[in-house]
C-alpha cells in the first residue's frame, strides 16, 4: 500500500517507500492444538531430541576422539561427553508453599528481583538418569534450567561429573542478507506504551505518531519519515487498572473504565495504520493469553485500525521478513525471566545467550508459562535472524554479534516508552540503529535524536 504524505504545497507529494513483508508467525500459532491434560515432559523431550541431534553433528569438529555416553553409562575416571538438559537447584527459587505461607502470614515475604544464590548447583539429565555437575567451567549463575548442552568431563569418586569443557549449540545458519538494498528504509520499534496508566503522558505518544507519519518537522524531516516502511509495537500497549480485575462482575461504569485504554490505543494506532504498515505484538499486560506463545490480540479490540490492511495483529514471539531481512523478537518476558534466575551484566547479554543456546525461552515451562506442546518446541531457533529485538526493557541497548560461520545479528533492547519516551529506529540497508526521544513535561517539550 503506497500512502501519499502531504507537505506544504498540495501539488508536492511524498511517496512512502515500500518493502516486501512476509509473516513467519505460523510456528507460534496454537492453531488446532488441543489440550488433553498433557504434562510438560513432552516439550522437554522434543527440545532434547532437537538439540541433541544438533549437538551430535557438532561433536566431530569439537572433540572427535572422545566417546559419547549416557548418564547411566558413566564410569569413574573415564573421560567422555554427555549431552542432556540442565536443571538448576536454586535455594531461593519461589515455591507454591511460599505463596501459601505469604497468604497466611501477617507480614508478607520480601519480593526479590533475582533468585540466584552462591549455593546453587547444576544437574544434567537425560532419559537414563541425572548427575550432579561440578568444576569451575560451568557457572550456575550463567545457566538456567531447560538449556541443552554437551559436556566434556569425567565422573569423580563422589559420583559427580567434573566438567572440563562445554559445547553450546551456537548461532544457527542464517539466510544470506541482501548485499545492497540500494536505499535507506527504516523500521521503528516501540514498546511499553502503557496506555491507561495513571502516570502515562498521552502527549508523548501523540508526538511520536505525528513524527513518524510526517505531520511534524520540515520537508527534510518529512522525507526521512517517508522512508519508514514498518512500525513494530512490542508489547504492553495498555495497562488496565488492576483493582477492576478481582473476579467480580463489573458494573457498566467499571466496564467502561476497563475498555477505555483499548479505545484510546485504537485511536492512536488508526493514525499510524492509515500511513504506515503496523505490527502489534501482545505483552504481559495486554488482553491476551498469559502463556507463551501469546496469540494475536483480537481484531475486534481495534475497530478503527483493523479496517486498514496495513494493520497486523501478531503473536509473541514474532517473526517476519522485510525485503529478505529476517526479524525475530519478543515482548520481553523471556529476557525478564532469565534476569530472575541467572546473572548477566545487561539485558543484551541475556539476548545473546538465547541465540547462542538456539532457544528463545529456555526457562519455559519451568518458571515461564508456556503452552504444553506435545510434538514440537516452537521456541527452538532454527534459522538465525538478522535482527533480534526484545521489548519492555529498562533502557535502550544494542549490539552487533557475529557467529562462527559469518552470521551477523543486530540485537536491540527496546525501552518502555511510557517511562523513557524513547523509540528505536533501524535502517534495514545496513542494520544501523538509533533512538528517537520524545521526553515531555508539563512546562517543557523536547523532541530530538539521541
**Using one digit for the tens of pLDDT, what is the confidence trace for 225-246?**
999 999 999 999 998 776 666 5
CA dist 156 and 175 (Å) reads: 44
Question: Looking at the structure, do residues 181 and 161 belong to the same domain, yes or no?
Answer: no
Per the domain annotation, does 80 fall within a domain? yes
Residues 6+ apart with CB under 8 A from 25: 296, 314, 315, 318, 319, 320
Q: Which residue has the higher pLDDT, 203 or 79?
A: 79
Per the domain annotation, does 189 fall within a domain? yes
pLDDT band at 6 (very low <50, low <70, confident <90, very high): very low
Tell me the residue ranges of DSSP E strands in 147-221. 148-155, 161-167, 186-190
The reported pLDDT for the residue numbered 9 is: 45
Question: Looking at the structure, do residues 158 and 179 belong to the same domain, yes or no?
Answer: no
The three cell numbers locating residue 173: 545458519
Per the domain annotation, does 104 fall within a domain? no
Q: Which long-range contacts (CB under 8 A, 24 or more apart) does 399-406 make?
A: 399/348, 399/352, 400/431, 401/171, 401/352, 401/355, 403/170, 403/171, 403/174, 404/170, 404/171, 405/171, 405/173, 405/174, 406/174
In this model, does residue 103 exceed pLDDT 70? no
* Helix segments in 176-331, DSSP class H: 202-212, 219-225, 252-273
Bridge-based pairing state of the strands 422-427 and 148-155? unpaired
Question: Looking at the structure, do residues 152 and 231 belong to the same domain, yes or no?
Answer: no
Are 184 and 227 spatial neighbours (Cβ–Cβ below 8 Å)? Answer: yes
Helix-strand-coil split of the chain, %, nearest 5 = 25, 30, 45
Mean pLDDT estimate for the chain:
89
Question: Looking at the structure, do residues 202 and 237 belong to the same domain, yes or no?
Answer: yes
Question: Looking at the structure, do residues 183 and 327 belong to the same domain, yes or no?
Answer: yes
Question: Looking at the structure, do residues 293 and 308 belong to the same domain, yes or no?
Answer: yes
CA dist 222 and 280 (Å) reads: 24
* Helix segments in 384-430, DSSP class H: 417-420
Per the domain annotation, does 6 fall within a domain? no
Q: What is the mean pLDDT of residues 68-90?
A: 96
Q: Which of 95, 99, 89 is nearest to 120 (CA)?
A: 89
Q: Which of 131, 100, 138 is nearest to 342 (CA)?
A: 138
DSSP state of 240: -
In this model, does residue 410 exceed pLDDT 90? yes
Per the domain annotation, does 256 fall within a domain? yes
- Say how many C-beta atoms besides its own lie within 10 A of residue 15's C-beta: 10
202-212 and 252-273 are packed helices; what angle lies between their axes, rounded to 10 degrees? 20
Question: Looking at the structure, do residues 162 and 273 belong to the same domain, yes or no?
Answer: no
Here the CATH number for the domain that contains residue 408 is 3.60.21.50
Strands laid side by side in the 21-23 sheet: 21-23, 318-322, 325-330, 387-393, 408-415, 397-402
Q: What is the mean pLDDT of residues 271-299?
A: 95
CA dist 214 and 276 (Å) reads: 10
Rounded to a whole number, what is the distance in angstroms from the first to the last CA of the chain?
Answer: 31
Question: Looking at the structure, do residues 191 and 338 belong to the same domain, yes or no?
Answer: yes
Per the domain annotation, does 16 fall within a domain? no
CA dist 234 and 317 (Å) reads: 9
The reported pLDDT for the residue numbered 399 is: 97
Question: Looking at the structure, do residues 162 and 182 belong to the same domain, yes or no?
Answer: no
| pTM of this prediction exceeds 0.75 | yes
Whether omega for the bond prior to residue 95 falls within 30 degrees of 0, making it cis, is no
In this model, does residue 109 exceed pLDDT 60? no
Question: Looking at the structure, do residues 325 and 428 belong to the same domain, yes or no?
Answer: yes
Q: What value, to the nearest 5°, has the Cα angle with vertex 326 and ends 324 and 331?
A: 150
Q: What is the mean pLDDT of residues 130-134?
A: 96
Domain with 155, as residue range(s), is: 63-95+115-167
Residues 6+ apart with CB under 8 A from 98: 109
Question: Looking at the structure, do residues 161 and 197 belong to the same domain, yes or no?
Answer: no
Q: What is the DSSP string of 24-79?
A: -GGGG--TT----S--THHHHHHHHHHHHHHHHHHGGGT-TTSPEE-STT--BT--
Buried-state track 370-394, b at ≥16 Cβ within 10 A, e below 16: bbbbbeebbbbbeebbbbbbbbbbe
Number of domains in the chain: 2
CA dist 369 and 377 (Å) reads: 13
Residues 6+ apart with CB under 8 A from 449: 434, 435, 436, 437
The reported pLDDT for the residue numbered 113 is: 83
The reported pLDDT for the residue numbered 242 is: 67
In this model, does residue 315 exceed pLDDT 60? yes
Query: Final residue of a domain: which of 167, 186, 211?
Result: 167
The three cell numbers locating residue 189: 520499534
Q: Which of 78, 79, 70 is nearest to 128 (CA)?
A: 70
Q: Which of 310, 309, 308, 279 is nearest to 296 (CA)?
A: 279
The reported pLDDT for the residue numbered 178 is: 80
pLDDT band at 74 (very low <50, low <70, confident <90, very high): very high
Are 320 and 25 spatial neighbours (Cβ–Cβ below 8 Å)? Answer: yes
Here the CATH number for the domain that contains residue 72 is 2.40.50.430
In this model, does residue 71 exceed pLDDT 60? yes
- Using only C-alpha atoms, the chain has a radius of gyration, in whole angstroms, of 24
Question: Looking at the structure, do residues 153 and 187 belong to the same domain, yes or no?
Answer: no
Amino acid at each position: 500500500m503506497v500512502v501519499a504524505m502531504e507537505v506544504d504545497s498540495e501539488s508536492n507529494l511524498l511517496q512512502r517507500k515500500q518493502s516486501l513483508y512476509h509473516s513467519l508467525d505460523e510456528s507460534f500459532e496454537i492453531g488446532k492444538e488441543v489440550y488433553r491434560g498433557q504434562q510438560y515432559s513432552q516439550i522437554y523431550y522434543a527440545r532434547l531430541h532437537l538439540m541433541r541431534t544438533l549437538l551430535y553433528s557438532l561433536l566431530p569438529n569439537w572433540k572427535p576422539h572422545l566417546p559419547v555416553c549416557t548418564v547411566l553409562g558413566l564410569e569413574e575416571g573415564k573421560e567422555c561427553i554427555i549431552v542432556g538438559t540442565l536443571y538448576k537447584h536454586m535455594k531461593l527459587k519461589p515455591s507454591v508453599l511460599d505463596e501459601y505461607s505469604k497468604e497466611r502470614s501477617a507480614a508478607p515475604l520480601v519480593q526479590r528481583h533475582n533468585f540466584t544464590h552462591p549455593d546453587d548447583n547444576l544437574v544434567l539429565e537425560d532419559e537414563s538418569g541425572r548427575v550432579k555437575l561440578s568444576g569451575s567451567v560451568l557457572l550456575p549463575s550463567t545457566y538456567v534450567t531447560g538449556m541443552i548442552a554437551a559436556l566434556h568431563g569425567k565422573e569423580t569418586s563422589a559420583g559427580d561429573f567434573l566438567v572440563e569443557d562445554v559445547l553450546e549449540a551456537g548461532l544457527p545458519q542464517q539466510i544470506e542478507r541482501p548485499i545492497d538494498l540500494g536505499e535507506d528504509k527504516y523500521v521503528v520499534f516501540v514498546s511499553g506504551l502503557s496506555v491507561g496508566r495513571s502516570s502515562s503522558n498521552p502527549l508523548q505518544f501523540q508526538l511520536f505518531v505525528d513524527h513518524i507519519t510526517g505531520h511534524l518537522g520540515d520537508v527534510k524531516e518529512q522525507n526521512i519519515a517517508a522512508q519508514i516502511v514498518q512500525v513494530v509495537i512490542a508489547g504492553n500497549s495498555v495497562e488496565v487498572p488492576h483493582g477492576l480485575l478481582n473476579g467480580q462482575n463489573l458494573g457498566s461504569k467499571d466496564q467502561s473504565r476497563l475498555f477505555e485504554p483499548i479505545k484510546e490505543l485504537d485511536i492512536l494506532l488508526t493514525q499510524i495504520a492509515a500511513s504506515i504498515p503496523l505490527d502489534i505484538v501482545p505483552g504481559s499486560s495486554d488482553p491476551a493469553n498469559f502463556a507463551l506463545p501469546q496469540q494475536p490480540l483480537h481484531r475486534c479490540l481495534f475497530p478503527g485500525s483493523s479496517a486498514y490492511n496495513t494493520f497486523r495483529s501478531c503473536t509473541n514471539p514474532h517473526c517476519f521478513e522485510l525485503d529478505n531481512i529476517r526479524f525475530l523478537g519478543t515482548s520481553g518476558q523471556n529476557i525478564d525471566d532469565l534476569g530472575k534466575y541467572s546473572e548477566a551484566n545487561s539485558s543484551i547479554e541475556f539476548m545473546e545467550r538465547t541465540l547462542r543456546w538456539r532457544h528463545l525461552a529456555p526457562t519455559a515451562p519451568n518458571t515461564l508459562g508456556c503452552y504444553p506442546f506435545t510434538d514440537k518446541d516452537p521456541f527452538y531457533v532454527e534459522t538465525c535472524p538478522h535482527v533480534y529485538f526484545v521489548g519492555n526493557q529498562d533502557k535502550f541497548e544494542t549490539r552487533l554479534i557475529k557467529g562462527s560461520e559469518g552470521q551477523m545479528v543486530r540485537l536491540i533492547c527496546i525501552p518502555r516508552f511510557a517511562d523513557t519516551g524513547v523509540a528505536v529506529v533501524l535502517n534495514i540497508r545496513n542494520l544501523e540503529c538509533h533512538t528517537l526521544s520524545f521526553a515531555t513535561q508539563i512546562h517543557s517539550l523536547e523532541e530530538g535524536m539521541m
